[in-house]
């Protein structure tokens, strides 16, 4: 038995030695349900726990993980009862023993501690960001729901209509507009595993190691599906090919070729959605943007006045605001501010109130005005014109499909 078959000497794997190789895959939902039923059959109160729902959301869990989940849920039950036990007594009162039963919420609490083995070897993030945590961007949220959440949670509905869901979604736009937050929120809403990768993290100085990292990531993702693979700063690994680049950039070219191979592989990608984020879509190889790869190109724009009001409300929800602070009026003066700018502005306004009086219990309009003099907008007309041109180029590509290269030092 081995969980690293490729590490074995090929001489061991030839006919006459290990003739048969049996691949034991990650359990399906029905198999997870049967495993959970076995490991929880002696738990008191288990008949009131919806094991079918647990089997549905434990993507990538193997038998040992599910056994550990059951043990952790039991430990959660015991921890709740420990304060009721008198350690000076020789026996536990029957009234305490009657409360000894596992509840569904304890399994959900245990899920926060137990990770599936398939993705334990790489960085796995459990986002806790929901749509309501992101102000504005209602149209973008709707498009992401259609492209990601529907294929993962309502697959049968799409199959009934004959719709093939997109493999990849590219989020592009100015820095600070919420691209990463959107990716994390859609992972939470779709109840999928979330693998977050920054483009430069995959780079290695060893020849072939960077491509191996991409292959390994997709191998793990297939075991842990449904999963969202999020490439932040995807332009770092998807620069144009064959442009006479240096050796360092040749690594990026090889990584891009490997990424294209994984997306176009003979083995179809099931329940895996790839989301890329970049603020330099002009640097991405056009081959990555064709249908069948990154099918959906979604621009995350600068927030409008209505969105700014919602963003301020989100980031000031825990702040005690004075009656003189009119959110709509204040938002009207925040031209060129991004969501990240507004978040920093709200934080600075709170600091201004504390600097004035360390015992302050309210934030006034003047504190926001003072913060506005410190936190300046990230955007300007030059940057917005750049993204407007990019959107036109993406919508109306030339026959060659190649971007016109320019220098944009302001990004």
> Looking at residue 401, what is its pLDDT?
44
Reduced 3-state DSSP string for the chain = CCCCHHHCCHHHHCCCCCCCCCCCCCCCHHHHHHHHHHHHCCCCCHHHCCHHHHHHHCCCCCHHHHHHHHHHHHHHHHHHHHHHCCCCCCCCCHHHHCCCCCCHHHHHHHHCCCCCHHHCCCCCECCCCCHHHCCCCHHHHHHHHHHHHHHHHCHHHHHHHCCCCCCEEEEECCCCCCHHHHHHHHHHHHCCEEEEEEHHHHCCCCCCHHHHHHHHHHHHHHHCCCEEEEEECHHHCCCCCCCCCCHHHHHHHHHHHHHHHHHCCCCCCCCEEEEEEECCHHHCCHHHHCCCCEEEEEECCCCCHHHHHHHHHHHCCCCCECCCCCHHHHHCCCCCCCHHHHHHHHHHHHHHHHHHCCCCCCECHHHHHHHHHHCCCCCCHHHHHHHHHHHHHHHCCCCCCCCCCCCCCCC
The better pLDDT of the pair 50, 127 is held by 50
Per-residue pLDDT at 95 exceeds 80 = no
Q: Is residue 402 part of a domain?
A: no
Q: What range defines the domain where residue 188 resides?
A: 131-302
* Co-location of 291 and 311 in the same domain: no
Query: pLDDT, tens digit, for every residue of 298-324?
Result: 999 999 999 999 999 999 989 999 999
Q: How far apart are CA 33 and CA 129, in angstroms?
A: 28
* Co-location of 108 and 152 in the same domain: no
What lies within 8 Å, CB to CB, of 117 at 6+ separation is 60, 61, 62, 64, 65
Stretch 367-393: mean pLDDT, rounded? 91
Q: Which two tokens stand for residue 178?
A: 């919420």
Query: pLDDT, tens digit, for every residue of 16-73?
Result: 888 888 877 778 888 899 999 999 988 888 888 899 888 888 877 888 999 999 999 9
Query: pLDDT, tens digit, for every residue of 225-245?
Result: 788 889 888 888 776 555 544
**Band of residue 402 on the pLDDT scale cut at 50, 70, 90:** very low
> Looking at residue 239, what is its pLDDT?
63
* Co-location of 141 and 276 in the same domain: yes
* Co-location of 274 and 147 in the same domain: yes
* Co-location of 27 and 57 in the same domain: yes
**Paired strand residues for 170:** 276, 297
Interstrand relation of 294-299 and 272-278 (parallel, antiparallel or unpaired): unpaired
> Looking at residue 171, what is its pLDDT?
93
Stretch 356-367: mean pLDDT, rounded? 92
Looking from the CA of 233 toward its CB, the CA atoms found within 13 Å total: 9
* Co-location of 38 and 169 in the same domain: no
Average pLDDT of the chain is 83
Per-residue pLDDT at 400 exceeds 70 = no
* Co-location of 22 and 68 in the same domain: yes
> Looking at residue 308, what is its pLDDT?
93
* Co-location of 68 and 57 in the same domain: yes
Q: Which residue has the tokens 């064959």?
A: 242
**Band of residue 182 on the pLDDT scale cut at 50, 70, 90:** very high
| Domain boundary pick from 302, 320, 349 | 302
Indicate the burial class of 272 (C-beta count within 10 angstroms; 0-12, 13-18, 19 or more): buried
> Looking at residue 121, what is its pLDDT?
59
Angle ∠(178,119,201) on CA atoms, nearest 5: 55
Per-residue pLDDT at 375 exceeds 70 = yes
Domain count, the chain: 3
Q: Which one, of 240, 172, 150, 226, lies nearest residue 194 by Cα?
A: 226
* Co-location of 143 and 279 in the same domain: yes
Stretch 244-250: mean pLDDT, rounded? 54
The better pLDDT of the pair 21, 185 is held by 185
Angle ∠(225,210,59) on CA atoms, nearest 5: 10
Q: Is residue 186 part of a domain?
A: yes
Stretch 390-397: mean pLDDT, rounded? 75
Stretch 276-284: mean pLDDT, rounded? 88
Q: Is residue 219 part of a domain?
A: yes
Stretch 135-164: mean pLDDT, rounded? 87
Per-residue pLDDT at 127 exceeds 80 = no
| Domain boundary pick from 114, 140, 166 | 114
Q: How far apart are CA 56 and CA 170, in angstroms?
A: 28
> Looking at residue 407, what is its pLDDT?
44
Q: Which two tokens stand for residue 372?
A: 């506005």
The better pLDDT of the pair 175, 248 is held by 175
Per-residue pLDDT at 210 exceeds 50 = yes
Q: Is residue 177 part of a domain?
A: yes
- Alpha carbon separation from 96 to 30, 78, 85, 236, 357 (Å, rounded): 35, 11, 8, 59, 50
| Domain boundary pick from 282, 302, 322 | 302
Q: Which one, of 403, 408, 168, 411, lies nearest residue 283 by Cα?
A: 403
Q: Is residue 333 part of a domain?
A: yes
**Band of residue 118 on the pLDDT scale cut at 50, 70, 90:** low
Share of the chain above pLDDT 70, in %: 89
Per-residue pLDDT at 285 exceeds 80 = yes
The better pLDDT of the pair 25, 173 is held by 173
* Co-location of 173 and 25 in the same domain: no
Q: Which residue has the tokens 């016109």?
A: 404
**Band of residue 79 on the pLDDT scale cut at 50, 70, 90:** confident
* Co-location of 254 and 154 in the same domain: yes
- Give the phi and the psi of residue 66 in degrees, each rounded to 5: -70, -35
> Looking at residue 397, what is its pLDDT?
54
* Co-location of 67 and 106 in the same domain: yes
What is the domain-level CATH number for residue 79? Answer: 1.10.8.60
**Band of residue 170 on the pLDDT scale cut at 50, 70, 90:** very high
Q: Is residue 34 part of a domain?
A: yes
What is the domain-level CATH number for residue 245? Answer: 3.40.50.300
Is cis: bond before 154, omega within 30 of 0?
Answer: no
> Looking at residue 404, what is its pLDDT?
43
Q: Is residue 89 part of a domain?
A: yes
Using an 8 Å Cβ cutoff, are 206 and 247 in contact? no
Q: Is residue 206 part of a domain?
A: yes
């Amino acid at each position: 038995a081995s969980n690293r078959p490729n590490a074995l000497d090929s001489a061991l794997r030839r006919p006459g030695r290990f003739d048969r190789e049996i691949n034991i895959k990650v359990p399906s939902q029905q198999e997870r349900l049967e495993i959970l039923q076995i490991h929880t059959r002696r738990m008191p109160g288990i008949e009131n726990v919806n094991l079918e729902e647990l089997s549905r959301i434990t993507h990538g869990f193997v038998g040992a993980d599910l056994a550990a989940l059951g043990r952790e849920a039991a430990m959660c039950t015991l921890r709740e009862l420990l304060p009721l036990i008198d350690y000076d007594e020789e026996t536990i009162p029957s009234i305490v023993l009657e409360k000894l039963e596992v509840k569904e919420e304890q399994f959900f609490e245990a899920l926060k501690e137990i990770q599936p083995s398939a993705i334990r070897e790489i960085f796995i993030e459990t986002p806790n960001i929901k749509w309501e945590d992101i102000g504005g961007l209602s149209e973008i949220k709707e498009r992401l729901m259609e492209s990601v959440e529907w294929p993962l949670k309502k697959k049968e509905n799409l199959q009934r209509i004959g719709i093939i869901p997109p493999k990849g979604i590219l989020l592009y736009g100015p820095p600070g507009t919420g691209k990463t937050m959107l990716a994390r929120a859609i992972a939470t809403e779709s109840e999928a595993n979330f693998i977050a990768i920054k483009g430069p993290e995959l780079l290695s100085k060893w020849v072939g190691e960077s491509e191996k990292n991409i292959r390994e990531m997709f191998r793990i993702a297939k075991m842990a599906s449904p999963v969202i693979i999020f490439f932040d700063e995807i332009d770092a690994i998807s620069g144009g090919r064959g442009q006479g680049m240096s050796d360092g950039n040749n690594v990026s070219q090889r990584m891009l070729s490997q990424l294209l191979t994984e997306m176009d592989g003979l083995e179809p990608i099931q329940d895996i959605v790839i989301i890329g984020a970049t603020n330099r879509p002009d640097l991405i190889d056009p081959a990555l943007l064709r249908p069948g790869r990154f099918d959906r190109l979604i621009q995350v724009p600068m927030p409008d006045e209505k969105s700014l009001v919602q963003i301020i409300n989100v980031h000031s929800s825990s702040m005690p605001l004075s009656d003189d602070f009119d959110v709509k009026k204040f938002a009207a003066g925040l031209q060129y501010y991004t969501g990240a700018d507004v978040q920093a502005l709200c934080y600075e306004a709170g600091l201004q109130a504390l600097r004035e009086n360390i015992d302050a219990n309210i934030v006034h309009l003047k504190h926001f005005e003072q913060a506005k003099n410190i936190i300046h907008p990230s955007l300007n007309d030059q940057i917005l014109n750049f993204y407007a041109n990019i959107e036109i180029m993406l919508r109306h590509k030339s026959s060659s499909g190649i971007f016109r290269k320019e220098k944009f030092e302001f990004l």
